[in-house]
Chain A
Amino acid sequence: MSNQTGLDAIIIGGGLQGCSVAIHLAHQNKRVVLLEKDTCGKHASGATAGGLRCLNRAPEEIPLSLAAKTMWGEIEKLVDSNCGFRPTDQIRIAGTQEDLNLLEARRERVCAMGYNHEELIGAEELRRLVPAIGSNGIGGLICRGDGYADPGLTCQAFQVKALRLGVTIHQQTKVLALEKGSEDWIVSTQNKQFSAPIIVNCAGAWGDEIAAMVGDHVDLKKEALAMMVTSRYRHFIDPVIGHASRKLSFKQMENGTLVIGGALRGILLEKEERTLIDWPQMRESAETVRSVFPFLADLHIVRAWGGIEGMTPDRLPIIDSGKHASGVFHAFGFSAHGYQLVPIVGKVVTDLICSGRSDFDLEAFRIDRFEKEISS
């Protein structure tokens, strides 16, 4: 089998995280090969609902998220395309006093950490921002300028930019084995071998399988998450809508369609690597949408789909160097909220590779954090 040598890094996984790392490494003049077992953006990256929220992030992720937000604001600089990015606000609506209390408590916690990107708003401001809310909302928690982008455009832009920077991308190429040679790592696929001193594991929901190949074990569960999209409608709502206590999330895209979804459960067929729609769950979502926004009842749903996400036990991602394997770096397990972090993850992983350190505190994202909990 032919073996490609002379590489600086091999990235496993051609979703957005993998392509982001590829782009940042290429900017550091590294020779990079990216291996994707299906097509770029086929799985979680292509199935995201497209929201880019700092709002309601786990505290550990906030610094990364705020940095990513700045990068999304100038995403053309990174990938020569605006990816359909729109800096609208993200709002979690409070329907009841309990909801408001929940949101207040959240805001206090976040403020106490020194962040004030999440604001409480009252009924009047809510109605100004979301005229359609009527009397179904008494206030909310808002993060201004969070926005959303178009998943398809984003995946294409990141893939194309990586290619333009000289990254070689092999699609429909699955990694079968990963072994340490005398100097480099040797990656075997169905028709070729590649070797490089650096391996970057961006294999998403299959990240644990790649990690296991190098002795880094982590408990990752695959889950199917679903959403649906409507036909196009004239623009009627700006912010991305969430809810304090109800499963409600939707946004109106630039093209006028509404994407509805937010931790909606799908049915996972793990071996076949595909997802099915759970219609009772979608019915519940439709009921929620209609009860908060009655006039949306007439909107036509054109398509429902699911994506496969890799979920860690604490729902925080893994961004770390390999603990049992030197030269291996991990960035996976984003637990259905990795889309917004994509631009910064590429930079952070590249910093780890090139300088051995990061400007960010990555303690919460260690790959061995679950082992530590067991032993302590």
Chain B
Amino acid sequence: MKNLYDLIIIGTGPAGMAAAVTARNFGLSTLVVDEQRDLGGQIYHSLENARPENTFALGTDYFYGESLIRSFRKSGAEYLPETMVWNLDENHNIGILREGKAYQLKTKHLLIAAGAMERPVPIPGWTLPGVMGAAAADILFKVNDMVPEEPVVLAGSGPLFLLVACRLIDNGVKIAAMVDTTRFGSYLKSLPYFPQALRVASYLGKGLSMRWKIQKGDFPIFQSADNLAIYGADSAEEIHFTSLGRKRKIHAKSFLLHDGVVPNIQFTRLLECEHQWYERQRYWKPVLDDWGNTSVNGVSVAGDCGGIWGAKAAEHAGRLAAIDIVYKQGGLSAEEKILAADPLIKKLGREKLIRPFLDQLFPPSCHALVPSSDETLVCRCEEITAGQIREAVSLGAISPGQVKSYTRCGMGPCQSRMCGLPLAEIIADSRQVPTPTVGHLKIRPPLKPITIGQLADLELLK
């Protein structure tokens, strides 16, 4: 490890890898870190270890990442897997933990390509063993060649909801039911964005073929579902919901929830970058210029952690961010920068066309935002319920930080990754004010826990 890099990149998804390749093309000393063992972020996770038997189920979109991974391997970027980033600061010091030892490195520029996470879905019983995010099933398949124990219920809405269902079908997993929470009204509301989406008709085609495969499956599909709740003793056993006015319950072994994907903003929040609220999908994302620069000098963002645009967009955004960084460090003139960026800007613009349509078609469901029942757990780590949060608000706590201080919501090891969004929504709902106005939780270091011993032996690379 060097004591100073031109560029440090966090994340080896498409954005991070593409940025590294571009940066290396211009000779920047580049370090790429990722806490995972395998390359690919989530979308191309473990591609290098993909089993030939899984080629069909993994699909062509997955293997699209193959050439990017090969380019990354050849790029000469220094790559540290299984390396956890525990701290970032405005002076471009990066705290990492690798093989049990903590270091602090320095860089001229930092690129955060930390990707996205599933929106937490706090319904009653969501903490029972056997309940997972749909993306978890996808990761288990890609990394471990495993599937959830059948029968499986999928509940939620969105492209990933459909994709995971198709993967299960392709792998011969018995699906007990699909519980689709998409509202009919969303189809109508998304119509204005449909013409734009037609320009990237291949995405629409994929959506349709997924729906067709699901339609042909031998399991019931419940539409317009609401009032989701999962019950079980020590593990999840059945899901209750209403669909088209009727109360239903389905018995199963595994329950996959999905209600959209949101940017992973732990890093940008720690740096106190400026963020903006994206109302349609109800998430916070960092404020970025066209090159991915945040409000903090020398810190850029590329890919889904800056707003959900998908894998292909992430790749172009990564390259654009790297071009700007190269320019800033004197490797390109202003004219050369524009010349190099132009085709990428066009490609990025094209890839972004599908998103407004999808965002309008699949907004977050009410139950994913504000649990109606007081007993529903919101903070999984500290076991704080929606009722406890509402009580704190009724006693005078008005901000997420204040509720956190009074209830311990958000003080556990996950550091509000799971409860941050619902916490703000519940406060806003109780106070009857728009969600972005209540504020957000401060993210404090370490980003993930480190031990006293590791901190005591912290090595500052100067």
Q: Which residue numbers of A lie inside 8 Å of B, CB to CB?
A: 39-42, 46, 151-153, 155-156, 159-160, 163, 169, 171-172, 230-231, 255, 260, 272, 274, 276-277, 279-280, 282-283, 286-287, 289-290, 296-305
Contact = CB atoms under 8 A, between A and B. Distances in A.
A116 to B, nearest CB: 36
Contact of B455 (A155, A169, A171, A283): A283
Contacts of B402: 39-42
Interface string B393-429: 0011111011011111001110100000000000000
B450 interface: yes
Given A171-B398, A274-B272, A155 B451 contact: no
A160 B396 contact: yes
B412 A152 contact: no
A299 B451 contact: yes
B450 A301 contact: yes
21 contacts: A39-B398, A39-B401, A39-B402, A156-B395, A156-B405, A160-B395, A163-B396, A274-B272, A279-B104, A282-B455, A286-B453, A287-B456, A289-B456, A296-B452, A297-B456, A299-B452, A300-B450, A301-B452, A302-B415, A304-B445, A304-B446
Contacts of B399: 39
A263 to B, nearest CB: 18
Contact of A301 (B89, B392, B406, B455): B455
* 4 nearest CB pairs, A to B: A297-B453, A300-B449, A286-B456, A286-B455
Contacts of A155: 405-406
Contact of B405 (A46, A169, A171, A297): A46
B287 interface: no
B411 A303 contact: yes
A297 B451 contact: yes
A282 B457 CA distance: 11
Interface of B: 87, 89, 93, 95, 104, 272, 392, 395-399, 401-402, 404-408, 411-413, 415, 444-446, 449-453, 455-456, 458, 460
Given A286-B453, A300-B413, 11 more contacts: A41-B405, A152-B407, A255-B408, A277-B444, A283-B455, A286-B452, A298-B451, A298-B452, A302-B449, A303-B444, A304-B446
Contacts of B415: 302-303
Nearest to A160: B395
B401 A42 contact: yes
B458 A302 contact: no
A153 B405 CA distance: 8
A303 B398 CA distance: 23
B211 to A, nearest CB: 43
A98 to B, nearest CB: 24
A317 to B, nearest CB: 23
Contacts of A304: 444-446
B394 to A, nearest CB: 10
B410 to A, nearest CB: 10
Contact of A279 (B395, B406, B458): B458
A114 to B, nearest CB: 39
A285 to B, nearest CB: 8
A283 to B, nearest CB: 5
Contacts of B93: 279
B437 to A, nearest CB: 10
B173 to A, nearest CB: 36
A280 B458 CA distance: 8
A274 B272 CA distance: 10
Which of A299, A303, A305 has the most chain B CB atoms inside 10 A of its CB? A303
B398 A172 contact: yes
Given A152-B405, A155-B405, A305 B444 contact: yes
Contacts of A299: 451-452
A163 B401 CA distance: 20
